[in-house]
Amino acid sequence: MSKPLRIGVAGLGTVGGGVVRLLAENGDLIAARCGRRIEVVGIGARDRTKDRGFAVDKFAWFENPVDLAASDIDVFVELIGGEGIAADAVRKALATGKHVVTANKALIAAQGAELAAQAEAAGLTLNFEAAAAGGIPIVKALREGLGGNVVTRVAGILNGTCNYILTQMEETGRPFADVLAEAQALGYAEADPTLDVGGGDTAHKLAILASLAFGTVPDIAGVYTQGIERISPVDIAFANEFGHRIKLLGIAAMTPRGLEARVHPAMVQLGTALADVMGVLNGVVTESGAAGTSVFEGRGAGAGPTASAVVSDLIDIARGFRLPAFGVPSGALVKADRAPLGEREGTFYLRFDVLDKSGVLATIARSLADRGVSIESMIQRGRSPDEKVAIVIITHDAREADVIGAIKAIEAAGAVVEPPCMIRMERL
């Protein structure tokens, strides 16, 4: 058996601790599969005294992750997160001849192309399976399994916190704020949940998947991002009535207008693959030439699934298997034009809260018609002139800019008592 692969793990939170434990528990199995042992020789975190379920004094301890990156190791495992000290440590590791494995979606989405170029120039590996969809091997699927295909679209539920919240809202009828508080109490949501519920976490992951799918430079700034904060039980109930379910989706497609990358709540038809992904699970659907539609589902976060993804990257390195980080040499990554979202065509769910007065419905219908937006179906609930009632409309295919223009005109006409709700309907 070859000499061990010596690794240093920076960051001993949920994922880092999970990696150390998984390598200890399955060490013999992993060694048999890759022909050498993978040994943790150095670790580092902010607090050495914290109980992590294993003895930290068995390993060399580094206060500074940059020092760990430059130490006598073969692979630097970066599980700190963010773009500050984590980026400095990754660059130091590559500069001193260390392979890098990371779960840092923010870093890869923002600086992945530059880091990939640095790794390739040094003949090193930069792996990041754990940076998107946790335990689902979607990075390998796009980079390797679908390598012979022209991928046309990637769509997925990439944040377990949001999926849990939307699932609970549907099952219990409770409002967003109540379910978010429960998710925080259960540890599914952070004390500051903005990155999750605001769509930022999904956007980072989508930027990575789009790069892998289309051979483009990761472009986090080009991802349209909208969260789930305004989704109400009313909208969820109407979605079910129309045979749909609301999910926070990340969708990327290469179009004649450029790369379309967007994160937002969407209605997906009941009985389809992503509609049936519930709770904290993630799901990804890819559409490609020879392979057609492929569906991936699994746990997207947590110690076990994410540690599993990190270890799979380590096994590739231990086996001597190396590919360009994004599936093509970094110099071949192209900077894609951004497709204007307003030019996209699709169907839309629109909810207008109005007072039940004469002429209100006519104003709404006229504003839509003036912009070429036709109505497929409509529901009006309530018959009280003194209380607000909901008018819900499903459109035929329409240009997004026209729908938004109609909504603004309806608001300007004073036809609504609250801001209208628009949710895109996706065919997946």
Half-sphere exposure of 303 (CA within 13 A, CB side): 15
Q: Is 113 exposed, middle or buried (0-12, 13-18, 19+ CB in 10 A)?
A: buried
Q: What is the DSSP string of 179-209?
A: HHHHHHHTTSS-SS-HHHHTSHHHHHHHHHH
Q: What is the DSSP string of 378-418?
A: EEEE---TTSEEEEEEEE-SEEHHHHHHHHHHHHHTT--SS
- CA–CA distance from 341 to each of 152, 189, 254, 402, 409 (Å)? 17, 30, 13, 11, 19
Q: Is 303 exposed, middle or buried (0-12, 13-18, 19+ CB in 10 A)?
A: middle
Span between the terminal Cα atoms of the chain, in Å:
47
d(CA 158, CA 62): 33
Minimal CA–CA distance to 141: which of 30, 262, 316, 296?
Answer: 296
Q: Considering 205, 247, 357, 388, which one is annotated as catalytic?
A: 205
Are 206 and 261 a contacting pair, CB within 8 Å?
A: yes
Residue 205 is among the residues annotated as catalytic for this protein: yes
Instruction: Report residue 395: phi and psi, to 5°.
Output: -90, 160
CB atoms within 10 A of CB 14: 16
Name the residues annotated as catalytic. Answer: 205
